[in-house]
Structure 1
């Protein structure tokens, strides 16, 4: 896709990977709208030239309200990036309220938004849907069961969606980041982390080249390991 002149909606686009995607799309000539629950982050995004809308995508109502804000405004790119960990550690009780919120935000919200925006995207000369999953959608880690489950679900949905839209004008892309240095991973995951800027650059490149998948950074090695031995890849990642 030629990004110049296109309109993109980036959920969770006020920090982390989402903000870097938004910045890079903006630099390539796109009009970029980001959304977030936090007004202070929205204000900062506006100072960078991004259009910013307040939205809570952890509920069906929030997704519907965001879509309603675009009733008369077409978009060319829907980038489902918003997410949360919803994790619990060994021996900790499972917070069911937090789990429900994480499941909706990570998995249901992308499906709701695609449902709302798909009719409009089908009317565009070219449309793109990008679902940001994770390398953990391929092989999970013990420290993030809720997050891994939702990302695996979104990966499956994305693959089916791509097949169903194969004869349309819409390109469906799955972006699979590795561990990235964001607010969500700080204090939770140790070890080497990719920068959000580098991660976003690979995702934007996938948009420009109409790739089916963006296996970002170390996920390329994980995909290779999984192709050789799925059981080995799972054993490695479960303790990561």
Structure 2
């Protein structure tokens, strides 16, 4: 996909992987709008020349704000990047709201934005949807049951709509990051990929027309899964 002159929307684009994707799309010549919840981070992005939309994507009002913010504009690239973790703990009903918040943000919002913004994308000569899932969409870890479920759901949805749109001008791309050094993973041990390096692989995938972008160590996970799904699950469940 040629990025120069294209209008791109990056959800969760004021921090972490989304911010790096936005910066790299801008450097490639795209006109980029980012969404976020933190006013100070959105102001910082505006100072760098980005369009900004404030909205909590776990709410209907937040989704409405994003849709209205790009209404009647020549949107060519939708990057569904916004995501949150969950404090869900099996056996503790009081954590179900955290689980629901995760589902609304990570799964419901991307589905709503794909559905509601598709007419704008269809109106362009060339367009793409990028859904950012996770290596955990391939095989889950026990400590993140809800997060993994949302990413697996988004992966399945992405594969399905890719087929539905295969004869259209809208390419559907799934990006699967590994553990990335962001605020979401702060305090978690182990090796982490930088947000900059992760975004670079995703943007390269957009530019080169890939349908699936396995980032960093996810390439190895996909290889293991292709040989033995059961082995991949055994490795990841305790990760």
* Same-fold call, TM cutoff 0.5: yes
Q: Which is further off, 124-133 or 54-63?
A: 54-63
Once the two structures are TM-superposed, the CA of residue 233 in structure 1 deviates from its matched residue by 0.5
Instruction: State yes or no: 1:137 paired with 2:137.
Output: yes
Give, in angstroms, the shift of residue 89 of structure 1.
5.3
Structure 1: 5+ residue runs without aligned partners?
none
CA–CA separation in structure 2 for the residues paired with 1:41 and 1:73: 24
Q: Residue 87 of structure 1 contacts residue 147 of structure 1 at CA under 8 Å; is this kept in 2? A: no
Question: Structure 1 residues 164, 69: closer, same or farther in 2, change over 3 A?
Answer: same
1:40 and 2:53 correspond: no
- SS in structure 1 at match of 2:156: helix
- What does residue 194 of structure 2 align with? 195
Q: Deviations over 1:191-226 (max 9, x none)?
A: 000000000000000100110000000000000000
Tell me what 1:233 maps to. 232
- Residues 95-134 of structure 1: matches in 2 within 5 Å? 95-134=95-134
* 1:3 and 1:28 in contact (8 A); partners too: yes
Q: Which piece of structure 1 moves more, 56-65 or 27-36?
A: 56-65
- Structure 2 unaligned regions, length at least 5: none
TM-score, normalized by length of structure 2? 0.97
Distance, in Å, in 2 between the alignment partners of 1:149 and 1:196 is 23
Count of residue pairs the alignment pairs up: 239
* Partner residue in 1 for 2:174: 174
In 1, the alpha carbon distance for the partners of 2:210 and 2:107 equals 22
Normalising by structure 1, what TM-score?
0.97
For 1:120 and 1:24, locate their aligned partners in 2 and report how far apart those are by CA, in whole Å.
23
Shift of 1:91: 7.1
Work out whether residues 162 and 171 of structure 2, in 8 Å CA contact, stay in contact via their aligned partners in 1. yes
